[in-house]
Structure 1
Amino acid sequence: MEFKFKDVFTGAQSALHSSPEKAVATFSAHSRLGDGVDSSVSTRQFTIKVGEPAGLGGTDTAPNPVEYILAALGSCQEITYRLYADALGIPVRSVSVKLEGEIDLRGLFNVDASIRPGFRNIFGTVTIDSTASEVESQRLKDTVDQHCPVLDILKNPVPVSLELHQNLAAASLSDARI
């Protein structure tokens, strides 16, 4: 039996319409720096390795954080295309996304205070295998771009609050003189 994404979409839409108080989902991740600039991130039952290429001080054993941003955007676009293609009745056999982002490293390394440390632009191509008309394909693209969570996160400011907690007990033990 073929999986029906439209059933998932309409079922979720109906449930959220009738119980809006259940609409807010919280996602979480916990990361811990390992050797050098390698990091390990836990989310649900998954562990994700993060690193840096050798040119940025790493060992090139895993994608870096900004590469994960591109991966998140690409995969979110693909998922959102799949869901909305089925919901709108637009035939799509497959979706793929190719993305590139440019960062001016002078921002990261504080060479020029006027340059931001993050992406200055992201550009890419979404390729769909579809018999849909050009009008239907454009309608699908417009709908996906309006409802893709990661695209929204990147295009619109999101309030972020990061608190610093210092483990003084560990610092005190290493600073203690015997």
Structure 2
Amino acid sequence: MSQESVKNALGGLIEVIKSTPSASRVVFRASTKLEEDVRCIANVRDFPPLTIDEPPDLGGSDQGMNPVELVLVALGTCQEIMYSAYAAFMGIKLDECKVDVKGYLDLKGLLSIDPTVNAGYQQISFNTTLRSSANTEAIKQLIEVVEGHCPVMDILARAQKITGEVTHNGEPVHSLTIN
């Protein structure tokens, strides 16, 4: 898809949402299943199943990225997509857009060794490389818009309401709500 195609597709979506505001509310879905040991399969839309696994030192067979790596992938690629989309709207040609993301995790939390350590990342950092003939002011405006509207960054930066239910042999046995 060319920059113009991206602009046209998103511009069309914006017009639909302006005329029918309820069209802005969408639901994304994923279905996952534990296959063997710590290897899982994820299904999204009609894409081929994605294998998620752990490296051998975390009990896996290293057949795919692990879930915390997928979070980093989600952040980096979401930023790249947002750069492409907003650059198209702002008339900025990007010659390169690349994001390197690091997540800092203390395994004492994940492994229940220290109850004071969170199980997830303590910090996430990224380094974005942009190459463009656009002037620095235009690039700074692009950065501000992208960092302010990247859905995955927003998800990671603020608390989310999470609800869940666990069934055992078809009977509900647990529910969870985190505000």
TM-score by length of 2: 0.90
Instruction: State the partner residue of 2:68.
Output: 66
Question: How many pairs are equivalent?
Answer: 169
**Where in structure 2 are there 5+ consecutive unaligned residues?**
172-179
Structure with the greater alpha carbon radius of gyration: 1
Aligned counterpart, 2:53? 51
User: What letter corresponds to residue 90 of structure 1 in structure 2?
Assistant: I
d(CA) in 2 for partners of 1:59 and 1:111?
23
Please give the alpha-carbon distance, in whole angstroms, between the structure 1 residues aligned to 2:73 and 2:155: 14
Give the Cα–Cα distance (whole angstroms) in 1 for the partners of residues 145 and 3 of structure 2: 22
Name the counterpart of 2:175: none
Local SS of the residue matching 1:157? coil
Aligned counterpart, 1:167: 169
1:122 and 2:124 equivalent?
A: yes
Give 3-state SS (helix, strand or coil) of 2:140's partner: helix
Shift of 1:93: 2.1
Aligned to 2:174: none
The partner residue of 2:141 within 116, 139, 145 is: 139
How many angstroms apart in 2 are the aligned matches of 1:2 and 1:99? 26
Q: Which position in structure 2 is the counterpart of 1:24? A: 25
* Amino acid aligned to 1:12: L
Q: Which has the higher strand share?
A: 2
**Shift of residue 26, structure 1, vs aligned partner:** 0.6
Q: Greater shift after overlay, 4-13 or 41-50?
A: 4-13
- Mapped to 2, the partners of 1:132 and 1:86 lie a distance apart of 12
1:10 is aligned with what amino acid?
G
The change in CA–CA distance for 1:57 and 1:97 in structure 2 (over 3 A counts) is: same
Alignment deviations for residues 141-170 of structure 1 (CA, whole Å, 9 cap, x no partner):
11001111111110111111111111169x
The residue number in structure 1 matching 2:38 is 37
Q: Post-superposition shift, 1:13?
A: 1.3
State the secondary structure of the residue aligned to 1:90: coil
State how far apart, in whole Å, the 2-side matches of 1:84 and 1:3 are: 10
What does residue 177 of structure 2 align with?
none
Structure 1, gaps ≥5 residues long: 170-178
Amino acid at match of 1:33: L
The structure showing larger relative contact order (alpha-carbon pairs under 8 Å, at least 6 residues apart) is 1
Q: Distance in 1 between matches of 2:62 and 2:103?
A: 18
Following TM superposition, where does structure 1 have runs of at least 4 consecutive aligned residues deviating by more than 3 angstroms? none
> What's the counterpart of residue 107 of structure 2?
105
